[in-house]
Amino acid sequence: MRRCLVWALACLITAFAVVGALKPAYATAGCRVDYAVPSSWQGGFQGSMTITNLGDPLSSWRLGFTFPNSTQKVVQGWTGTWAQSGRAVTVTNAGYNGAVPTGSSMNVGFTGSWSGSNPAPAGFTVNGVACVGAAPVTTSPTAGDPWNPPSSLVSPLAAVWSHEEATYSDLFGFKNYGWDQLFAAGGQLNYCVRWDSAAHVTAAQRDAIAGALQRQYQKWVDALLDDGAGWNNWPYRQVPVKVVGWAVRDRAQLEWSDPAVDIYVNDISENAPQCGTPCGRFFHQDGDYSGCPGGASHHYDHSLWLTAGFSGGAGGDWGQRIGSEYYLSNLNAENIHILLHEMGHTYGLDDFYDWDPTPGQGFLMKAGSATAITDFDKWMLRDWWRHLKTRYGR
Ligand SMILES: [Zn+2]
């Protein structure tokens, strides 16, 4: 999925983005996990999980869940390889139990320790896909689903959706939209900054870059809320966005010594510094961050690629790319509109270079015609949500 913004210069096509466009579709995934505590004693307990495969047959699996409390620890697990990083636990299949046919179940168990309280994990993933108790149906909105845009937008929205169906190579097969990433991460997102510039960066700039990113991201989240409540069963009012890493050519460019972010030095890809691939969602869509130093909590979902002298933009499942000078000079702007436009692409929204569904009105995803998320942008985003939401059990 590659979309780009012709702002002043020609659209820049990167190898990284092309890889995204060529990613194969994933098999249909669906699972249910039943969690039980057969026995518990002061400070310890036995846990058991039964995984039922409701999707295509699995040849290998990786179960993930997060303990609600930091005091909950796996002491010893069986029927797989167990790992815990902070509250996050993963179990990878053993050699003999990787295959799980459709409709079959298998069980894993462990002994654990706890103090204070011992609540059950709230959710589980198998191979990075949230287990919502049913195989996702991803072909059409649920019958009776609310679809209540302003009447003047109904026809333009239908035209946009038809255009996407006609022009996207694998609209419903693609499983790494921003939506998929957000749900796989449980409603929060990690970013890594690719600092594609020779300039130095202060700690204050670093923090301002992260702050602006959070504020801009929330603008799209707000487009899914009505009076603070999620439209059409949308679950997240706030999406915490955390910058966990920076990639740079020369460590000396970063004028801080605190350990606030992971730092990747001189790992060059597409002629730009890149954050470590073992930690990147784009490279590990199965959610396996076992090669990431620091573990899963240090992984990043999106890259924010900031390039010196770049006046356009690009966005996709890998993240967003905009000019470093543009971003730094707009950190306090209410709407960093090129960034917002590229975030829209991460969530599947289309470009409009060759046609206009709302002639003369202007909207953010039609580059150059608006500088903030409009009502039409909001309803295009909602159209994506109603088409994909069953993937996430909503
Ligand atoms: Zn665009």
Distance CA 169, CA 171 (A): 6
Is residue 210 one of the residues assigned to a domain?
yes
Q: What percent of the chain has pLDDT over 70?
A: 90
Residues 56 and 195 in one domain: no
Q: Which CA distances in Å does 102 have to 25, 27, 135, 285?
A: 19, 12, 10, 21
Residue 217: pLDDT over 90: yes
**Any domain includes 298:** yes
Distance 375 CA to ligand 1 centre (A): 18
Please give the model's pTM, rounded to 2 decimal places.
0.68
Number of domains in the chain: 2
- Distance between CA atoms of residues 109 and 87, nearest Å: 17
Distances (CA, A) of 359 to 64, 254, 291: 47, 46, 50
Residue 17 alpha carbon to ligand 1 centre in Å: 13
Choose the final residue of a domain: 101, 130, 159. 130
What is d(CA 105, CA 49) in angstroms, rounded to the nearest whole number? Answer: 10
Query: Which of the 8 DSSP states describes residue 373?
Result: -
Q: How confident is the model at residue 192 (pLDDT cuts 50, 70, 90)?
A: very high
Percentage of the chain with pLDDT > 90? 67
Q: Please count the CA atoms within 13 angstroms of the CA of 126 that sit on its side-chain side.
A: 32
pLDDT at 2 over 80: no
- According to DSSP, the β-strands at 225-226 and 229-230 are antiparallel
Residue 384 CA to residue 224 CA, distance in Å, equals 11
Q: How far is the CA of 341 from the centre of ligand 1 (A)?
A: 6
Indicate the pLDDT class of residue 314, thresholds 50, 70 and 90: very high
CA of 180 relative to ligand 1 center, distance in Å: 20
> Quick one: pLDDT band at residue 159, thresholds 50, 70, 90?
very high
Based on the domain organization, do 238 and 311 belong to the same domain?
A: yes
Taking only Cα atoms into account, the Rg of the chain, rounded to an integer number of angstroms, comes to 22
| Model pLDDT, residue 21 | 35
Classify residue 222 as left (phi > 0), alpha (psi -120 to 50) or beta.
alpha
**Same domain, yes or no, for 342 and 197?**
yes
Domain that holds residue 101: 31-130
Do 272 and 206 reside in the same domain of the chain? yes
Greater pLDDT, 134 or 182: 182
CA of 132 from ligand 1 middle (Å) equals 32
pLDDT confidence of residue 16: 32
Mean pLDDT, residues 251-277 taken together = 97
Statement to judge: residues 124 and 156 lie in one domain: no
Give the pLDDT mean for 76-80: 90
Q: Quick one: pLDDT band at residue 204, thresholds 50, 70, 90?
A: very high
Q: Show which of 78, 95, 130 is a domain's final residue.
A: 130
Compute the distance from residue 167 Cα to the ligand 1 centre, in Å. Answer: 15
Q: How far is the CA of 314 from the centre of ligand 1 (A)?
A: 7
Which CATH number is 120's domain given?
Answer: 2.60.40.290
Q: How far is the CA of 336 from the centre of ligand 1 (A)?
A: 14
Three-state secondary structure call for residue 347: coil
- 138 — pLDDT class (breaks 50, 70, 90): very low
For residue 155, is it within any domain? yes
Distance 353 CA to ligand 1 centre (A): 9
Q: Residue 136: inside a domain, yes or no?
A: no
**What does the pLDDT average to over 325-344?**
98
Alpha carbon of residue 64 to chain centroid: 16
CA–CA distance, 32 with 66 (Å, rounded to integer): 16
Q: Cα(128)–Cα(326) distance, rounded to whole angstroms?
A: 35
Co-location of 273 and 181 in the same domain: yes
195 and 119 both lie in a single domain: no
Q: Are residues 55 and 165 in the same domain?
A: no
DSSP 8-state secondary structure symbol assigned to residue 100: B
Compute the distance between CA of residue 84 and CA of residue 288 in angstroms, rounded to an integer: 13
CA of 7 to the centre of ligand 1 (A): 9
Cβ atoms of 35 and 48 closer than 8 Å: yes
The verdict on residue 189 lying in a domain is yes
Q: Are residues 171 and 260 in the same domain?
A: yes
Q: Is residue 232 part of a domain?
A: yes
Distance 148 CA to ligand 1 centre (A): 26
Q: Residue 21 is encoded by which pair of tokens?
A: 């466009």
pLDDT tens across 10-24, in order? 333 332 333 333 333
Whether residue 7 is predicted with pLDDT greater than 50 in this model: the reply is no
The answer as to whether 225 is a domain residue is yes
Task: Determine the distance separating the centroid of ligand 1 and the alpha carbon of 365, expressed in angstroms.
Answer: 6
pLDDT tens by residue, 51-75:
888 777 888 888 888 888 899 999 9
User: Do residues 357 and 312 share a domain?
Assistant: yes
Tokens of 207: 């923090």
Q: Are residues 188 and 77 in the same domain?
A: no
Q: Which residue, of 130, 161, 188, is where some domain finishes? A: 130
**Residue owning tokens 């300039």:** 199
Mean pLDDT within 327-336 = 98
Cα of 3 to ligand 1 centre, how many Å? Answer: 5
* Ligand 1 centroid distance, CA of 312 (Å): 9
Residue at 154 is within a domain:
yes
Same domain? For 20 and 35 the reply is: no
Beta bridge partners, 300, equal 280
Q: How far is the CA of 30 from the centre of ligand 1 (A)?
A: 32
Name the β-bridge partners of 268. 273
Q: The tokens of 310 are what?
A: 């770049």
User: How many whole angstroms from 367 Cα to the centroid of ligand 1?
Assistant: 6
